[in-house]
Structure formats: C-alpha cells, structure tokens
Amino acid sequence: MIEFKNNKGIFQQIADNLCERILSGEFKPGDKVPSVRELAALLGVNHNTIMRTFIELQHANIVENRRGIGYYVTTTAPEMIQQQRREEFFKSELPAFIQQVKLLNISHQDLQPLFDQLNENQNENK
C-alpha cells in the first residue's frame, strides 16, 4: 500500500511505485502490470488517476499498451527508468547540491569520498 504525500501528484507517486517494482524485479520486461480497474480498487483512487499514470509511463517508454488486453512492461523499461532518473538528477538534484556546495563554501578536498565513487564508476565502465 502506498501512503500518499502532499507534495507530489498521486499519479506521479503511483508511477514511481511501479518503477520501483520494475527495478526490483517484481515486474519484469514483458510482464503484464495490474489492470487499471484493479489498481484503482486496490489503491482506492479514481481509475482516471491510474490512466494518467499509465499514459505518463507510456510516454516514457516504460510500459506499452495492447489494446483491449492491458499494459505490459517494455523490454527497455529498466534502462528507461534509469535514464529518466538521470534526467531528474541533472535537472534538480545536481543543481540543489551545487547550491549547497556554494552556500557552505565546500572545498575540493571535502568531497574526496565523492571522487572515490566516481573513479569506481569509471572502472566499471572499462
């Protein structure tokens, strides 16, 4: 069960939850996700809200629709989710972090653990 918070749209929160479950492997590429009515009843929200969720996920190439049957996880869903999160990261988290670094006058040395992680990432990609 999801507990809905105030600061984000409910449809967005449901989408995030589905993405989480896809990344965790609960729904694999090719799997059918629960139907609109099913989810609406389970979460106690209007079915239009679920539709909005699926439309967003479809735009992001995370689910695809088979007319009259239901929504299915795309084969590229995990990568698409990852990519979307990267976009979110560059659009909002990174600027916020930079803002903090600026305000607190953080120095190069202070971020050593961050650089260690970056180097690890780079080695993985080799």
Partner DNA sequence: GTGGTCTAGACCACC
Partner DNA sequence: GTGGTCTAGACCACA
29 binds, among a second copy, DNA, none (CB under 5 to 8 A by kind): none
Name the residue nearer to a second copy (CB basis): 69 or 102.
102
**Rounded distance between C-alpha atoms, residue 76 and residue 79, angstroms:** 6
Give the integer Cα–Cα distance in Å for 81 and 45: 24
Binding residues for DNA restricted to 72-101, rule: CB under 7 A: none
Q: Among DNA, a second copy, none, what does residue 27 contact (CB within 5–8 Å per kind)?
A: none
Residue 90 C-alpha from the chain's centroid: 14
Task: Give the bridge partners for 70, in sequence order.
Answer: 66
Binding mask 84-113 for a second copy (x = CB under 8 A): -xx--xx--xxx-xx-xxxxxxxxx-xx-x
For the beta carbon of residue 50, count every other beta carbon within 10 angstroms.
Answer: 25
Task: Show the site string, 47-66: x = touches DNA by CB under 7 A, - = not.
Answer: xxx-xx-x----------x-
Residue 41 binding: pick among a second copy, DNA, none (C-beta 5-8 Å cut-off by kind):
none
Q: Distance between CA atoms of 43 and 34, rounded to whole angstroms? A: 12
